[in-house]
Amino acid sequence: MAETKREIERKYEATERTAVPDLTGTGGVAAVRDEGVTELDAVYYDTPDLRLAADALTLRRRTGGADEGWHLKFPVAAGVRDEIGAPLTETLPDSLAGLLRSRTRHTRVVPVVRLRSSRDVRVLLDADGRPLAELSVDTVRADRLTGTGETAAWTEIEVELADGADETLLDAVGKRLGKAGIRPSAAPSKLARALAETGPPAPRRADGTGAPGSAGHAVLAYVREQADAVVALDPAVRRELPDAVHRMRVACRRLRSTFATYRTVLDRDVTDRLGEELKWLAGALGTARDEEVLTARLTARLDELPSALRLGRVRARLRARAVRRAEDARRTVLAALDSPRHLALLDALDALLADPPLRAAAAHDAPEVLARAVRKDFDRLAGRVEHALALDPGVRRDLALHAARKAAKRTRYAAEAAAPVLGKPAKRLAKRVKAVQSVLGEHQDSVVARAALREIAVQAHTAGETAFTWGLLYGREEADAAARERELPGVWERAAAPAVRAALGR
């Protein structure tokens, strides 16, 4: 069973003659306990073209020390990584292989570097004898296991924060080390240093980007950003990190939207097929995200009711429904991520970026092409909003407002993609359209909630329970939807102000 640990550390340059200063009294350190020297032997794995290293991921199999086993590290921020551990086995555990699949695809990981370290450990303790951090002086030998077979050797100091300790301790220790002439390491990790000093470097990704300043260059930069997000969020979804499903789904939608908006730049014969596959993936992710949103909404609605109006086993029924559907949604998501279809989609995105299917407009100046595309999407949104507002309240208007919401998303994404080129006018449009999207999203959430409430009420009635509370919530959702419909004209008026569109040119 894989375990996750948040690793917060700082690294410093050292030599065999470097003397670590006394840290007693530094940042709450009351004592320093010498733990002695441990011999560590770690083999680092990667694809032959070093895809993991390119994304600052490290995968190692370590023997020796208290934490021997497999370790996979994901970067979180500078000096912060999530370390996922698994027991020591001969082959890579499935739990870790799945987290690497979006990057490794059909390629097996192989040993690339062996690091043997003599680790001299000191534990920094507070006044109660609790660990605050671990300082180690590591004497390292690196052997390249692929290519040149070169070696490298160095000494470094590593200070890792203990669980629950205040990160300001690292600042205090770093300041004390600096006064002793010990400087921060330029390498983010031992593996990065080993790869840099034993060569050859990882091959650079060869992407087709279009000429700088062209529409093709601008659109492909945004496509690359979203495609990278889909790859990077795959393991986050598998780990069930907060908001990961939502963010991955949004990246899929942004890609689909970009392909649709900038069809004069990228050939539809290629992007339409990709768009359908992205729709499939977003749909699989949506089963989890939609249930998450619905459960949170209905739970909040129940919390708002006085206890006297919560009749029957309403919380238990809602909880049981949420658990059952969440489990089903989780299976759906994992089945999609583990499928050959998902890997084929990732390969297709790579192929598009390596050899983009550029059309004639891709060579034109970016501001002109992007502004025209954003205006076209905005005009499409305007038509849908005006059509919806002209309808009487009811099912037809609900459907029309949902269609307007989709158009709002597309317009917003188009403006966001164009913002690096068009600047403030595109950012302002994106902000105002986002407000429209939010109102329409709240309205659609109410539509979905009412359908769920009716279903739950029928189930409760069939089970011999009162459906009073579910009916009450249904009525409140109707009132909320009506309020959003009254709010929409004002929000839309701000987004549709002539000056907003005119700033994008004609």
85 CB burial (10 A radius; 0-12, 13-18, 19+): buried
Nearest CA-CA partner of 265 in 334, 217, 337: 217
Cα distance between residue 326 and residue 299, in whole Å = 15
Round the average pLDDT of the chain to a whole number and report it: 93
Say whether 146 sits in a helix, a strand or coil. Answer: coil
Cα distance between residue 203 and residue 469, in whole Å = 62
State the pTM of this model. Answer: 0.89
Find the mean pLDDT for residues 268-272: 95
Q: Which of 161-175, 190-204, 270-284 has the lowest mean pLDDT?
A: 190-204
pLDDT at 298 over 90: yes
Find the mean pLDDT for residues 464-477: 94
> Torsion angle, CA of 349/257/285/80, rounded to 10 degrees?
70
What angle (nearest 5°) sits at the alpha carbon of residue 480, between those of residues 389 and 394? 45
Find the mean pLDDT for residues 447-461: 94
Establish whether the linkage from the previous residue to 93 is cis, with ω within 30° of 0. no
Cα distance between residue 80 and residue 13, in whole Å = 18
pLDDT at 11 over 50: yes
Cα distance between residue 123 and residue 31, in whole Å = 8
What per-residue confidence (pLDDT) applies to 1?
45
pLDDT at 269 over 80: yes
Contacts of 20 (CB under 8 A, 6+ apart): 122, 135, 137, 157, 177, 180, 182
Give the model's confidence band at 501: pLDDT under 50 very low, under 70 low, under 90 confident, else very high: confident
pLDDT digits (tens, 9 = 90+) for 248-259: 999 999 999 999
Cα distance between residue 487 and residue 467, in whole Å = 31
pLDDT at 381 over 70: yes
> Are 448 and 456 in contact, with CB atoms under 8 Å apart?
no
Q: Which of 71-75, 274-278, 284-288 has the lowest mean pLDDT?
A: 284-288
Cα distance between residue 415 and residue 441, in whole Å = 19
